[in-house]
Amino acid sequence: MPYIKGADRNQITLMPDCMEDYISAENPVRVIDAFVEQLNIAPLGFKTEPAVEGRPGYDPRDMIKLYIYGYLNKIRSSRRLQTEAGRNVELMWLLGKLVPDFRCIADFRKDNANAIKGVFREFVKLCNKADLLSKEAVVIDGSKFRAVNSDNNCYVKSNVEKLIAQADDKIAKYMAELDAADKTERRSGELTSENIGEVLNYLAKRKIQLENALSELNENGLNHVCTTDRESRLMKTRDGCKPSFNVQTAVEPNNHIIVNFDVTSDCADWGLLESGISGAKDVLGVETLEGIADKGYGNDEEILKCLLNGDTPTIYLNKNQNCRTFKFAKMDDEITSEMLVSNDYETLKKCIATGVLPDILKRSDVTFEIVPTATPQQFLDKETGEIVSYEQVKAKGGTEREKLKLRLETPVQSYFERNLTSDTVICPMGQTLFYAGIGWPNGKANSGKRRYHRASVCAKCRNKCTVGKQRIVSFKADETRKYTDFYDKCGTGRITRRKERRFIPIDVPKHEVVVMKYYPNQRKLRIRNQIVEHPYGTVKRWNDGYYLLVKGRVKAAAELALSFLGYNFKRVLNLLGTKKMLEMITA
């Protein structure tokens, strides 16, 4: 049975008369063309007026179409885009057979960075207008994208000094070899003077690079510096610490469309929650929004900002906790009705600290109470008259103790005996103690405790059971005997006393603390992974977008805007199809 054979290359064929016949009605390039044509590119920042003199430039719309098509089809390189424009039938139709030079393509992305990010936002607004986006919640997460900076051009302060010392050692070693090569006859396989000279030149240049990097680190007070892309930072990735950018995205939960993103130089997500939610609110056009994120965003200050903005930060709680607790030192200040409805962060914090809950926090998942709290103990320094803390007393030796060598006789008994009839107490040495009033444990009167002492007897006692001037013993209401181990401790040398007696404890007034608790909805956290991780995986794996092609945060944002626009475009195309998507754009 013969195989299927292709057409004869010498066969004369009648090709379609126009390019329109090559593109079917369901082809996605028609959607790209319709979307770009309806854009008002002047407010986005693109140059809309052609130059009067010189060679005419390309229409920005054609360049936008070229880039959207490229990122939709895994083509990010300007050289590859130039190649495809000259041989790809779809691009011929889309651009009208224009073939821009690769430098012109690359410069367009570089020179219109902010405007390209605006194109991404316009598509998100189009999706929002078509009711494809949830306006109740977004899922926020960050991912590291490799910057245009090699590992050799990234200098860490702790390692630079070691590398400079290693370079000095190698230079000394090769200089010695160079001297030896000049004095002795060269053998086969050994380095020649020319080879050693090349190595020395390389080491000298490398040492200069290291010294310049160390000088920059010291001048700016930095821990590390990336010399190729200075806005990138060393960040922890799956491949180790690499020069990268931390890219933040907000993904809506219904159709998994990226509604907003930001490129940052922050190595962690710790302080980026509030900005992520605020950016998503601006795009969606809502006043309040729920932001779902992982533990990396668990910064209490950021969570409080979101709550005071009226948003709902749904973040994983710490282990064995069911809420987030915020504590404020109680203040006495006047609060007006205008302050309670204010949008100012510090004003709202002041309202909370005075014990008045602002209107924005009157919600079911927030509780509010004022509780008393113990204050740190303070002491009076008798020598200087200063009020000092326990830590200061400890630093000055006020807590150090010394052992006492006491030689005491065996007591008559090892306990205090109370006579309920006469309401007196017999001490271990057989002396009688009298009632001295009720007990005051922890500064509060307790009628259930009765105290006994007798100062005149203790002053004359040579075998007394205390190192103080007198012994005061307390009994409960029905207690008749209380044992003492003072004499046993004396026999084993366990009696101590403070060395320094210049510090006297003083009474400190108790304070109140305003405690606010926030209870996030933990069930919504179960959907986080399956929503926000999918776009990153698609962009990085499907589109080879785990590394960047341009330098700087602004230009990196332009490239990622194209990557995320390509993801959103394909996502909506899969949800609606070509026909409905064209209707959405032209509506």
pLDDT the model gives residue 153: 83
Cα 163–chain centre separation: 31
Domain presence at residue 169: yes
Domain boundary among 492, 507, 537: 492
Handedness of CA 452, 455, 459, 461 (dihedral sign): negative
Domain presence at residue 295: no
Contact in structure between 164 and 226 (CB atoms under 8 Å): no
pLDDT the model gives residue 178: 65
Burial of 18 (0-12, 13-18, 19+ CB in 10 A): exposed
Tell me how many degrees the CA angle 302-307-308 measures, rounded to the nearest 5. Answer: 95
Are 38 and 92 part of one and the same domain?
yes
Give dist(CA 169, CA 17) in Å, integer.
Answer: 74
Range of the domain at 559: 19-137+553-586
pLDDT the model gives residue 321: 87
Closest to 490 measured CA to CA, from 462, 473, 465: 465
Across the beta sheet with 366-373, what order do the strands follow?
A: 324-329, 511-518, 366-373
pLDDT the model gives residue 277: 95
Are 63 and 120 part of one and the same domain?
yes
Domain presence at residue 218: yes
Two structure tokens written together for 482: 């209380």
SS3 state of residue 155: strand
The amino acid at residue 67 is Y
Contact in structure between 568 and 261 (CB atoms under 8 Å): no
Are 472 and 560 part of one and the same domain?
no
Domain presence at residue 517: no
The amino acid at residue 24 is S
Are 421 and 449 part of one and the same domain?
yes
Q: Which residues of the chain have pLDDT under 70?
A: 1, 6, 13-17, 51-53, 160, 174, 177-194, 196, 441-443
Are 171 and 125 part of one and the same domain?
no
Contact in structure between 583 and 565 (CB atoms under 8 Å): no
pLDDT the model gives residue 143: 93
- Taking only the tens place, the pLDDT of each residue in 512-536 is 899 999 999 888 888 888 898 888 9
Write the CA distances from 357 to 334, 337, 366, integer angstroms: 13, 11, 10
Domain boundary among 476, 492, 508: 492
Are 161 and 199 part of one and the same domain?
yes
Handedness of CA 149, 152, 153, 159 (dihedral sign): positive
Rounded to the nearest 10 degrees, what angle do helices 60-72 and 102-111 cross at? 100
Domain presence at residue 569: yes
Are 69 and 37 part of one and the same domain?
yes
Domain boundary among 226, 241, 262: 226
Are 106 and 30 part of one and the same domain?
yes
**How many domains are contained in the chain?**
3
- Tell me the CB-side half-sphere exposure of residue 526, using CA atoms within 13 A: 3
Burial of 445 (0-12, 13-18, 19+ CB in 10 A): exposed
- Report the 10 Å Cβ neighbour count for 503: 22
Closest to 499 measured CA to CA, from 585, 406, 398: 398
The DSSP secondary-structure symbol of 55 reads: S
Two structure tokens written together for 89: 């039938």
Domain presence at residue 318: no
Write the CA distances from 397 to 294, 386, 393, 501, integer angstroms: 47, 16, 6, 10
Contacts of 51 (CB under 8 A, 6+ apart): 57
Domain presence at residue 254: no
Domain presence at residue 99: yes
H helices present in 514-552, as ranges: 528-537
- Taking only the tens place, the pLDDT of each residue in 323-368 is 999 999 888 888 898 999 998 999 999 999 998 999 999 999 999 8
Contact in structure between 278 and 309 (CB atoms under 8 Å): yes
Are 192 and 214 part of one and the same domain?
yes
Are 480 and 564 part of one and the same domain?
no
Are 100 and 40 part of one and the same domain?
yes
Are 131 and 66 part of one and the same domain?
yes
The amino acid at residue 575 is L
